[in-house]
Amino acid sequence: MTDYRYPNERLILVVTVLLVLGVIAFTSVATLCGSLLFVAAMLLLALFLNWLHHSALIRQATPVTPQTMPQLDALVRETAAWLSVGNTVTYVAPAPVLNAYTFGLGGPKAIVLYAGLFSIMDRDELQFILGHEMGHVQLGHTWLNSLLGGMAGIPSPFGAAVILYFAFRWWNRACEFSADRAGLLACGNVNKAVSALVKLATGGAARSAVSQQYALAQLEKQDGDNQLGELLSTHPLIATRIQHLCRYAASDEYRRLQARVNQNRSDRV
């Protein structure tokens, strides 16, 4: 009872299926190629912006060398040797803010310390900050941030764009936890690592042990009310970072790695 089928129906079905598969394959290839071209364009843009930023930095900031800042240069070299970090250059930016960052796609990577840090941080706290930034360099975060940032920015449907946005920031926050661990290994003192983070969070207002304990309690309360906001941020909440750092400081893994760093220290004495 199927003899009434139109003679060319099956042929048309085969052709239709082949066309659908062809369109799917073409669209997939076009989307992949377009995505790759977008990421390549973002990387080229990142290279150009890095070049511009580095050029501006050279004009405004002071490079850390044995001639310009001998004590800081010694601390930078010491920290890099302890953490086995490769080639980096360090600058001091003149702005009186409490911040530090690293940038660069090629080598050497640049570490920038703002002048405001030196008025409130002691040597160990400054070494934590240096170690944190060197951790970003050593673990590849400096160049991966440009690559993954380009991938996260690929034009896509709204739902996919939201997923990429949150995933990229999730990775950013994980990078901060890793860099904090590097900072702790560099300074070798969890109390100094915590005090450095508290000073950064309070703008340097909490300097004494008593004021830092009070500030930490306030930070924990404030951060506890802002868990949702953390999902939108590239950095974990300060109280969360401190909790993770204290747990890591009590772990066998930290003791094992700290012993290796201490060995690097003794080898340089």
Q: Report the relative pairing of strands 62-63 and 100-103 from DSSP bridges.
A: unpaired
User: What's the pLDDT score for residue 234?
Assistant: 82
Which two three-digit tokens encode residue 56?
Answer: 């501006």
Write the Ramachandran bin of 189: left for phi over 0, alpha for psi from -120 to 50, otherwise beta: beta
What pLDDT, in 10s, does the model give residues 10-39? 787 777 778 878 877 877 777 777 777 877
Give me the amino acid identity at 14: V
> How much is the average pLDDT of 51-58?
78
Peptide bond between residue 236 and the one before it cis (omega within 30 degrees of 0): no
pTM: 0.80
136: amino acid identity, one letter: H
pLDDT greater at residue 189 or residue 158: 189
What pLDDT is recorded for position 42?
A: 73
How far is residue 14's CA from residue 31's CA, in Å, rounded to a whole number? 25
Report the distance separating Cα 192 and Cα 188, nearest Å.
Answer: 8
Average pLDDT, the chain: 83
Give the model confidence (pLDDT) of 91-136 as tens digits. 999 989 899 998 877 778 889 999 999 999 999 999 999 999 999 9
- Over residues 162-177, the pLDDT tens digits come to 777 788 888 889 999 9
Q: Are 90 and 66 in contact (CB under 8 A)?
A: no
**Backbone angles phi and psi of 235, in degrees to 5:** -120, 140
Cα dihedral 263/265/268/269 (nearest 10): -110
**Residue 108, pLDDT score:** 85
> Helix, strand, coil shares of the chain as percentages rounded to 5?
70, 5, 25
